[in-house]
A and B are shown apart, each in its own frame.
Chain A
């Protein structure tokens, strides 16, 4: 019987594939006195690992998930538990066949090779028991395989034990978590208590319940995934080992099928979403099979049986082949489909490693272990960061609505701009009513409803005629309107109002405020009151952690403004670095301020007509901010722009926003104001100005030199990531961020096509472009540049390709399109001297 130590450096709760991988990677990175607990017995304590189908497809449209998966496969291979079988994703429809071309593109962007599209006859050769008449083609990834996840967990646990770093305790149920002053202090179990300052929750479907013990939330929901096993399959009698044929994903029916020894396994993501609460899951004792293998509900699977029968008549239609096993297996779903990783914002020292599937678990565990050790994970986990969630994201309503909606998209054809339909209208700016009247088409970011374009601007299409690029293909005209380009042109000609209320706003104050922000910001923060500083923040390894603006409002008072999407993980970064002596405080003022951007050559005329103050260039120069009175509204105006135009971000108290909008709107009539949506703000105008976006161009895996954002000098003061940054400046950059323009949009069928982002950038003959660090070149952002008359792409290119005028290609739906490097670095395509901005 294991005796639990009284104290530990870290307690890993949960002994599935995630917990075992965590324990191993922590030990590998030098952690000692690790305790690994599970309420069940090893090697299969009863969680989702025990019933997982254990196959790994390599390609995902998300770069982050693909990187986690590729790293996991390397680890499984090294452990000797990976069996390569190949995998094919079959198309039953033309639409899916197109989607498979997009998967080839993602494979090339993320460096998954080889992959190929195959015709029905080749599918038949690969999977002789499949009825090729049902399929139009398939996406073949030879590197797909299956893994023995229980064995992998055991091996990792044993390795950690061999390092003398770990105490393993099975049948040990966590009954409580102690928190002192916001930090984990211990784990209570039915076998005794352990004092510790760090806990990793690797509890799969039970994770929310464990986190709640400490007052934190992990926004996931257990959900049913149905699987059946049929056998014995006569055809498999001759094969050796677990799997001799490629795994098939029947994408259009949301199902997969694979050989498993003498049996054939059929799984489905097609049935109605069946969600559960963690507290409803039976205990080990109450379970017939295991807590995460619930009784099969036959009715939900009837359609799937018919569909499996269609595709595999020789196996599934064989009366001798019986349904030997069928379960409603539990897995974890999150409201946005991404895992929940990292330290919880609520409790210091409490880390979440949850909502992780077999295919990505070891890679994620390695990432989290690096993150815990020195804060510098090799793979940027920002889209999985548990700190990304706002409070409203953590409600049961949101988790259930979005998880249910996302479930049937598991194999879905999901457009990059596709909007959620459930649980909308949660965060509404005070301009919302007016925007609706103007026919705003709302897209959601972080719960905010933001106009993406305005139908009321449809008349501008006539005004701008041919200058507005139309899109002929359905795919890229989906979730898009030509009105975006028309609004853009009207803004560049006249003036536009843009709702920016989704900004996250943090007020920093106190005698230590300057020193504190100086420690985080790359740019100089010791600036006169009234200056606006645009600055990146780095992690210790010199990767870009955030990209935002900071206004100096007083000697000891600053306002940080960052994007709605990154608001919460940026907030955690700031909060984590607050000085221990309390000399600086951070207040989240997001809900106190609404923001409207007023930009364009007539912006000054508009604002001057309602301002009590002098807003001339001399009185109110670029990159400054100050309070101004606009009618009855006392606002804060900041003269910066993400669209490259003269104008201001105007901040007003939320409750005065409606009045502010009306005031500006009325005054704007005289100068031809248009409302402009986020389609202009975040894409077209930004791309013309070569402005970078966090999550697209800016991430931990690239530094400022590569991003073309290294200033002429580095400030004397110390800041997080400075050493790494100085080092980067000494080195030759291995990649440089470039803007490219598309030379010819015409496809082989004569239809003009427009890339949307994430496509691979290839050499003129279609070869991959890889930098010295092994990173592929791909499109980080894409969109129209109506004022420059070009479709613009951004991409990191190795130095040998990062030369203005270099001809390359971009692959889009299986075809190459010629592109030319237009800009290396951050020189804008439009108005390179920034005269419009500073005028």
Chain B
């Protein structure tokens, strides 16, 4: 079985976000880079599938040269190969990105190494477009299930589950197929030191992608109004309990 998993390099946010002076990017001076939690789960899922069924796994990203770091993270977790669709760092919109991925999928197919599963994160952590997986599936004419929380491969088919109001939706699709993975499907492993060291020695296949389609243009970023949090210390120790009850009652959390 051959599995492709696609990830995107994004700033590791957590603190207050600031923008670059031209308002085009997040200021990343104090930030590291990562992939979205969904994509991390997609990588873990790919590693588990290959561990269970054998085959090859490939991680792919489209981004600047430094996005190699995210590919190596995936390699350290156990992915077999990495492809970097290397750009000059400017943002590619979902149509152009999907087209570039399709090119890779088709050329692998032509070389006799067709993918059986194409895994994506449900959405990117920065742009949140929810589009790449679906667009790739559409162009390739493959079935696609998004937002999945479970995935099982049986013979030439896969069973995927996702959460729905009050229950679960279960899909069975024939392979090859596209899945957009949601955080929670698994608990991604931490890379081990030997994993890291092996990843370091692996070659990254660098491809300069052809930019086709698109038209979505970022005008600028804007930060939402900061919410001013008020902290009031009600007291400490057992003496504070009545005041806490009072507040909970006022908020309607416990009956008065």
Where the two chains meet, the residues of A that have a C-beta atom closer than 8 Å to any C-beta of B are: 1, 230, 280, 282-289, 294-296, 298, 302, 305-306, 308-309, 316-324
Interface pair A285/B192, CB less than 8 Å apart: no
Q: Are B193's CB and A305's CB within 8 A?
A: yes
Q: Nearest Cβ in chain B — how far from A137, in angstroms?
A: 26
Chain B residues contacting A285 (CB-CB under 8 Å) are 15-16
In-complex Cβ contact of A289 among B14, B72, B191, B194 (8 A): B14
| Supplied contacts A285-B16, A288-B30, 13 more A-B pairs, CB within 8 Å | A230-B190, A283-B16, A286-B16, A286-B18, A287-B14, A287-B15, A288-B14, A298-B196, A316-B193, A319-B194, A321-B192, A321-B193, A322-B189
User: Which residues of chain A have C-beta atoms less than 8 A from B15's C-beta?
Assistant: 282, 284-288
- Which residues does chain B contribute within 8 Å of A298, judged by CB atoms? 69, 72, 196
Q: Is B32 an interface residue (CB 8 A)?
A: yes
- List A contacts of B194 (CB < 8 A): 309, 316-317, 319
CB-contacts of B44-99 with A (<8 A):
69, 72
Contacts of B186 in A (CB 8 A): none
Q: Does B233 contact A (CB under 8 A)?
A: yes
The CA of A289 and the CA of B18, in the complex, are separated in Å by: 16
> Across chains A and B, which 5 residue pairs bring their CB atoms closest together, nearest first?
A322-B190, A295-B32, A288-B14, A282-B30, A285-B16
Rounded to whole angstroms, the CA-CA distance of A289 and B15 in the bound complex is: 8
- Could you tell me if A302 and B197 are in contact, using CB atoms closer than 8 angstroms? yes
Question: Are A323 and B193 in contact, CB atoms less than 8 angstroms apart?
Answer: yes
Residues of B within 8 A of A321 (CB): 192-193
Cα separation A52 to B69 with both chains bound (whole Å) = 27
**Closest B residue to A308 using CB positions:** B193
A324: which B residues are within 8 A, CB to CB? 190
| Cross-chain pair count, CB within 8 angstroms | 69
**A323 pairs with B190, CB closer than 8 A:** yes
Across-interface contacts of A294 in B (CB, < 8 A): 30
Chain B residues with Cβ below 8 Å from A286 are 15-16, 18, 30
**Residues of A with C-beta under 8 A to B32:** 288, 295-296
Q: How far is the CA of A125 from the CA of B233 in the complex (A)?
A: 52
Task: Find chain A residues with CB under 8 A from B196 CB.
Answer: 298, 302, 305, 323
B106 interface hit (Cβ, 8 Å): no
Say whether, besides A282-B15, A295-B12, A317 and B193 are in contact (CB < 8 Å).
yes
8 sampled A-B residue pairs with Cβ under 8 A? A286-B30, A294-B30, A302-B196, A305-B193, A319-B194, A321-B193, A323-B191, A324-B190
Q: Which B residues touch A320, using CB under 8 A?
A: 192
- In the assembled complex, which residues on chain B have CB atoms less than 8 Å from the CB atom of A317? 193-194
Cβ-closest chain A residue relative to B17: A286
Give the interface of B toward A (CB within 8 A).
Answer: 12-16, 18, 29-33, 69, 72, 189-197, 200, 233
Residue of chain A at shortest CB distance from B77: A322
Known contacts: A285-B15, A286-B30, A295-B32. The answer to whether A309 contacts B193 by CB under 8 A is: yes
Smallest CB-CB separation from B191: which chain A residue?
Answer: A323
Complex Cα–Cα for A321 and B194 (A): 9
On whether the beta carbons of B12 and A288 are closer than 8 Å, the reply is yes
User: Bound complex: CA of A285 vs CA of B227, how far in Å?
Assistant: 13
Q: Which residues of B contact A282 (CB under 8 A)?
A: 15, 29-30
Q: For B72, list chain A residues within 8 Å (CB).
A: 298
Q: Are B69 and A306 in contact (CB under 8 A)?
A: no
Q: B64: shortest Cβ distance to chain A, in Å?
A: 16
CA distance A121 to B22 in the complex (A): 62
A628 nearest CB across to chain B (Å): 63
| Distance between B210 CB and nearest chain A CB, rounded to angstroms | 30
A295 to B16, CA, bound (A): 15
A318 touching B192 in the complex, CB below 8 Å, given contacts A1-B233, A298-B69: yes
Q: A residues within 8 A CB of B233?
A: 1
Q: Cβ of A323: which chain B residues have Cβ within 8 Å of it? A: 190-193, 196
Query: A1 — which chain B residues lie within 8 A by C-beta?
Result: 233
Whole-angstrom distance between the Cβ of A294 and the nearest chain B Cβ: 7
| Among B33, B191, B196, residue most surrounded by chain A Cβ atoms (within 10 Å) | B196
| A280 cross-chain contacts in B, Cβ below 8 A | 29
Q: A295 vs B13: C-alpha distance in the bound complex, in angstroms?
A: 11
Bound: A288/B30 CA distance, A = 8
Shortest Cβ distance from B6 into chain A, in angstroms? Answer: 22
Q: A295: which of B31, B190, B192, B200 is its contact (CB, 8 Å)?
A: B31
- Would you give the shortest CB distance from A289 to chain B, in whole angstroms? 7
* Contact A306/B13 with A286-B18, A323-B191 known, Cβ cut-off 8 Å: no
CB distance from B16 to the nearest CB of A (A): 4
Q: Report the bound CA distance from A284 to B30 in whole Å.
A: 11
A309 touches which of B29, B31, B197 (Cβ 8 Å):
B197
**A residues less than 8 Å from B31 (CB atoms):** 288, 295
Alpha-carbon distance A140/B60, docked complex (angstroms): 49
- Given A282-B15, A286-B18, decide whether A230 and B193 contact each other with a Cβ distance below 8 A: yes
Task: State which of B18, B69, B191, B197 has its C-beta within 8 Å of the C-beta of A322.
Answer: B191
Nearest chain-B residue to A315 (Cβ)?
Answer: B193
| Assembled-state Cα–Cα distance A319/B18 (Å) | 38
A287–B30 CB distance below 8 A? yes
- Give the Cβ gap from B231 to chain A, nearest Cβ, in Å: 9
Bound CA span A296–B30, Å: 11
**Contact of A302 with B200 in the complex, beta carbons under 8 Å:** yes
A288 to B34, CA, bound (A): 12
- Find the B residue at minimum CB distance from A284: B15
Nearest CB on B from A275, distance (A): 15
Q: Note all chain B residues with C-beta closer than 8 A to A309.
A: 193-194, 197
Task: Output the least CB separation between B42 and chain A (Å).
Answer: 18
- C-alpha gap A667/B13 in the complex (Å): 74
- A324 and B233 alpha carbons, distance in the complex (Å): 33
Instruction: Report chain A residues within 8 Å CB of B197.
Output: 302, 305-306, 309
Cβ–Cβ < 8 Å partners of A289 in chain B: 14
Residue of A nearest to B32 (CB): A295
Query: Looking across the interface, which residue of chain A has its beta carbon closest to that of B69?
Result: A298
* Whole-angstrom CA separation of A71 from B192 in the bound complex: 39
CA–CA, A308 to B192, complex, Å?
A: 12
Q: B50 → chain A, closest Cβ, in Å? A: 15
B192 touching A322 by the CB < 8 A rule?
A: yes
Using CB atoms, name the residue of chain B closest to A295: B32
Chain B: minimal CB distance from A40 (Å): 13
Residues of chain B within 8 A (CB-CB) of A318 are 192
Q: Which residues of B contact A319 (CB under 8 A)?
A: 192, 194-195
Q: Are A288 and B193 touching (Cβ within 8 A)?
A: no
Residue of A nearest to B200 (CB): A302
Closest to A301 in B: B196
Residue of A nearest to B27 (CB): A286
Residue of A with least CB distance to B14: A288
Question: Which residue of chain B is the closest to A229 with respect to CB atoms?
Answer: B190
Residue of B nearest to A324 (CB): B190
Please, which residue of chain A has its CB at the minimum distance from the CB of B12? A288
Complex Cα–Cα for A317 and B198 (A): 12
**What is the CA–CA distance of A305 and B199 in the complex, to the nearest angstrom?**
13
Q: How far is the CA of A491 from the CA of B30 in the complex (A)?
A: 61
Q: For the complex formed, measure the closest distance between the CB of B100 and the CB atoms of chain A, giving whole angstroms.
A: 26
By beta carbon, the residue of chain B nearest A328 is B32
Distance from A756 Cβ to chain B, minimum over Cβ atoms (Å): 40
Q: Give the one of A280, A323, A324 with max B CB within 10 A.
A: A323
Q: A288: which of B13, B69, B189, B195 is its contact (CB, 8 Å)?
A: B13
Q: In the assembly, what is the distance between CA of A390 and CA of B227, in Å?
A: 48
For B12, list chain A residues within 8 Å (CB): 288, 295
Q: Which residue of A lies closest to B33 (CB)?
A: A295
Look across to chain B and name the residue whose beta carbon is closest to the beta carbon of A309: B193
Least CB distance from B46 to A in Å reads: 17
Alpha-carbon distance A728/B12, docked complex (angstroms)? 64
With a CB–CB cut-off of 8 A, which chain B residues contact A287? 14-15, 30
A296 cross-chain contacts in B, Cβ below 8 A: 32
CA distance A134 to B112 in the complex (A): 47
* A323 to B194 CA separation, bound complex (whole angstroms): 10
Q: How far is the CB of A199 from the nearest CB of chain B, in Å?
A: 27
Residue of B nearest to A230 (CB): B193
Q: Which of B14, B69, B193, B194 has the most CB of A within 10 A?
A: B193
Q: Tell me the minimal C-beta distance from B218 to chain A in angstroms.
A: 23
CB closest residue in chain B, given A305: B193
Which A residue's beta carbon lies closest to that of B16?
Answer: A285
